[in-house]
Amino acid sequence: MPDLSHLKRLSAVKSNVGVKFLTPSAFPGSHCPLHPALALAGNIKGLSSLVVGTPECATYSRIVLRNAQDRQGEQHWTYVLDASEVVFGCRKGLMDALQKMDRSGAKAVLLLATCVPDLIGEDIEGLVREAQPKLSMRLISVMMGHFKCNSFPSGSWKTLQAIGVLMEPRTVQPYVINVMGRSPDEKHIPLPSILRVLQQQGFSLRCLAPGASLEDFLAAPDAALNLVLTPFADPLATAMEQSFGIPAFRLHTVYDAAEIAALYAAIAKKLGLQWGNEFNREQLEALSLQEQARKRLNGCRFICTDIGPVRTMPLAAFLTAMGMEPVLLHLEEFWPDDKYWADALNALGYDPLVCHMVNSDADAPLLESLAPDLCLGDLNSVKGRIPCVPYLSDLYGLSGYDRTNSLLKKILHKLEQPSRSKEGGARHGIA
């Protein structure tokens, strides 16, 4: 069996740094946290950006932002460090650049410091504090050193968290709800049933995600509550809970039908409404599918690869509670609350290996050696040799009972199909 001794067990991981690559691979480009940070900056109306780094970072930022609209009061600049600044710092040059952006009409600027400013110890936060009183525009910053992380999600959640710094207290509007993680431009994706029912009850839904405006984010402290649909918005929701007392209800970590019912009841209580029979059909379907899954999945060994916008740890905890055995989990990010989910898995008697998978061709032989009964996520290199549940990105936009039902249907459907090894014989059978 190939050596996996370099990987850590889940119980030994305390942060993202502890999650090792499955194979000696690196994944630059879209895997860099600068990518989602730039994508966010280019898709929040009214937010400008200034990228500080090497010529490579500047070129890359032009590629990511090539479709950014030329909106009034919005600019996307780059500041390329010269050799002297790499050694002695770039404080003076950055101050000059920020003053130019201010004079050019920028309303709010996200300063993105890449690897080199971080490596040389440039005090970006101190510079922001010093510069702000001299500028009419608002200024926020994020450190985007790729060498400090193995993945890209921090580019999204740190940027959203930084935007939260611009928020100020507002009078609460009892019929306004922040939907954190759904874009106002997603007209083609049906509303989750809970959002549809809230609209029917007369609530105004403010979507906070790419496609929203900076003004939407600045108005967010007036909401009665935050509904969190993605992990990328979770740190911002936590910060708003602490700063403004806005309760956050997290839909992206809940799968069990009973837990969904309890969460919906808590939301109804907070808003002072009654759901009636709105979710009865979905709830009954979820309970039925969970019962089928418990019988069918008991003892089934599984691995997780890239599962898109779905968080690995809550999903693994849900499936393990139904009798599945987690063998190896790909963690794109070790999120701030993943220690909670790690404890939940450990309490169930499991301590799986964890890793980053970034090169499916190189990773495939190692994954095959584990002989799992099921793989959650795409794994094209071993197609047909390990039963895979692909297209989990289809769960994007779903929440509550709808998401649980869709997930369990995908898994049960896959396990109805016998898996064949490359030699043509049954390898995993029907788990």
Tens of pLDDT, residues 358-413? 887 788 888 888 999 999 987 766 555 788 888 788 888 889 999 999 999 999 99
Does the residue 167 lie in any domain? no
Q: Which of 271, 304, 326 is the last residue of a domain?
A: 271
Does the residue 277 lie in any domain? no
C-alpha 229/C-alpha 177 separation (Å) is 13
Average pLDDT over residues 289-313: 92
C-alpha 78/C-alpha 98 separation (Å) is 11
Q: What is the CATH number of the domain that holds 188?
A: 3.40.50.1980
User: Same domain for 41 and 144?
Assistant: yes
Does the residue 280 lie in any domain? no
CA angle at 179 for the pair 175 and 181, rounded to the nearest 5°: 175
What is the C-alpha R_g of the chain? 23
Q: What is the pLDDT of residue 422?
A: 40
User: Same domain for 256 and 320?
Assistant: no
Helix 34-41 × helix 153-164 angle, to 10° = 40
User: Same domain for 38 and 105?
Assistant: yes
Average pLDDT over residues 89-108: 93
Each residue of 50-85: pLDDT tens digit? 999 999 988 888 888 876 656 666 899 999 999 888
Does the residue 134 lie in any domain? yes
Instruction: Tell me the percentage of the chain whose pLDDT exceeds 90.
Output: 62
- Give the residue numbers spanning the domain of 57: 34-148
Mean residue pLDDT of the chain comes to 89
Q: Which of 61-65, 144-148, 217-221, 305-309 has the lowest mean pLDDT?
A: 144-148
C-alpha 240/C-alpha 102 separation (Å) is 28
CA 310 vs CA 190, 230, 316: distances in Å = 18, 8, 11
C-alpha 239/C-alpha 243 separation (Å) is 6
User: Same domain for 117 and 87?
Assistant: yes
| Cβ–Cβ under 8 Å, residues 16 and 22 | no
Q: What is the pLDDT of residue 64?
A: 86
Look at the chain and report how many structural domains it folds into.
3
User: Same domain for 177 and 138?
Assistant: no
User: Same domain for 409 and 319?
Assistant: yes
227 burial class (0-12, 13-18, 19+ CB within 10 angstroms)? buried
Average pLDDT over residues 125-140: 94
pTM tops 0.75: yes
